[in-house]
């Protein structure tokens, strides 16, 4: 079974590439982030033509998450129990579903913006709500994974230059502690290093030729419980999908599991 996560940075802008990638990649379940579309405008029909059902949690031009599956979708849950919200708004950043033998969450963790910004405190609170929400599934016997854009680089090896991020979000001890707490709930990073590339980044800024210069970050992660991790046969970052005109600034992360 092939399971992937991809921050598409607008499904409207990326739809032709998304459909082509689904046809060529052999993906059974895809967790999407930054759909940036209202649910009623989501391209259900085009995806159905390729054999995919879709569970969507999206409200408009910001955020938005989804799970696409060609092995069935059941027990869909939208949102994050205990979500702290930001400025009184509960944002569409999490959705979970059972797809065949596996249960998955698609998550888009808040960016944090700046360390002294209220959004950073919101990010840490959101992480704690996520940890509490997934703890039951993480400790269970069913293969389970939380996939998505975590907006945190787990280690210094996951950024192209630590000096470039000094004093910035995505690399702070508090954010990495939040990741460690999530792993402490019974999850593990199932994408090993090194992969095909010495530094398998998943995100490259559009500016300053970051992609050609490989100035990236590994912030799109797949955290699985023990049954999921034991079933992993292969994992890779589809760096080719970051190339060319009209690409997202994130690349898909793909995991093959024997379930």
Return the closest-CA partner of residue 258 out of 143, 141, 98. Answer: 143
Given this model, what pLDDT does residue 30 score? 99
Find the mean pLDDT for residues 64-72: 98
Given this model, what pLDDT does residue 61 score? 85
Find the mean pLDDT for residues 45-72: 97
Given this model, what pLDDT does residue 198 score? 60
Contact partners, residue 232, CB within 8 Å, separation at least 6: 190, 224, 255, 256, 257
Give how far Cα 201 sits from Cα of 140, 249, 250, Å: 30, 11, 9
Q: Is 233 annotated as a binding residue?
A: no
Given this model, what pLDDT does residue 200 score? 82
Across 181-252, where does the E strand assignment appear? Answer: 188-189, 203-204, 216-217, 220-224, 232-237
CB 103 within 8 A of CB 139: no
pTM over 0.85: yes
Whole-number Å distance between alpha carbons of 107 and 229: 19
Given this model, what pLDDT does residue 194 score? 54
Q: What CATH superfamily is the domain 2-257?
A: Endonuclease/exonuclease/phosphatase (3.60.10.10)
Q: Is 189 annotated as a binding residue?
A: no
Whole-number Å distance between alpha carbons of 243 and 90: 34
Whole-number Å distance between alpha carbons of 57 and 55: 7
Find the mean pLDDT for residues 109-114: 97
Return the closest-CA partner of residue 112 out of 178, 177, 169. Answer: 169
Q: Is 7 annotated as a binding residue?
A: yes
Q: Is 34 annotated as a binding residue?
A: yes
Residues annotated catalytic, as ranges:
108, 149, 250
Q: Is 151 annotated as a binding residue?
A: yes
């Amino acid at each position: 079974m092939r399971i992937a996560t991809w921050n598409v940075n607008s499904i409207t802008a990326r739809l032709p590439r998304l459909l082509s990638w689904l046809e060529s990649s052999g993906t059974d379940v895809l967790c999407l982030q930054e759909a940036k579309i209202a649910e009623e405008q989501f391209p259900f029909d085009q995806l159905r033509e390729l054999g995919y059902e879709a569970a969507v949690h999206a409200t408009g031009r910001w955020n938005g998450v989804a799970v696409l599956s060609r092995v069935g979708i059941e027990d869909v849950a939208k949102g994050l129990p205990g979500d702290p919200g930001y400025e009184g708004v509960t944002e569409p950043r999490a959705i979970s579903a059972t797809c065949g033998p596996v249960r998955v969450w698609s998550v888009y963790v808040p960016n944090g913006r700046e360390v002294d910004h209220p959004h950073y405190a919101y990010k840490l609170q959101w992480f704690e709500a996520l940890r509490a929400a997934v703890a039951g599934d993480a400790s269970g016997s069913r293969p389970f994974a939380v996939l998505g854009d975590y907006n945190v680089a787990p280690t210094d090896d996951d950024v192209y230059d630590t000096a470039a991020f000094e004093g910035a979000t995505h690399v702070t001890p508090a954010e990495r502690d939040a990741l460690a707490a999530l792993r402490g709930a019974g999850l593990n990073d199932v994408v090993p290093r090194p992969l095909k590339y010495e530094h398998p980044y998943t995100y490259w800024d559009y500016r300053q030729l970051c992609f050609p210069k490989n100035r990236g970050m590994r912030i799109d992660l797949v955290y699985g419980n023990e049954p999921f991790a034991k079933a992993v046969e292969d994992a890779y970052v589809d760096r080719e999908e970051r190339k060319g005109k009209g690409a997202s600034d994130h690349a898909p992360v793909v995991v093959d599991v024997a379930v």
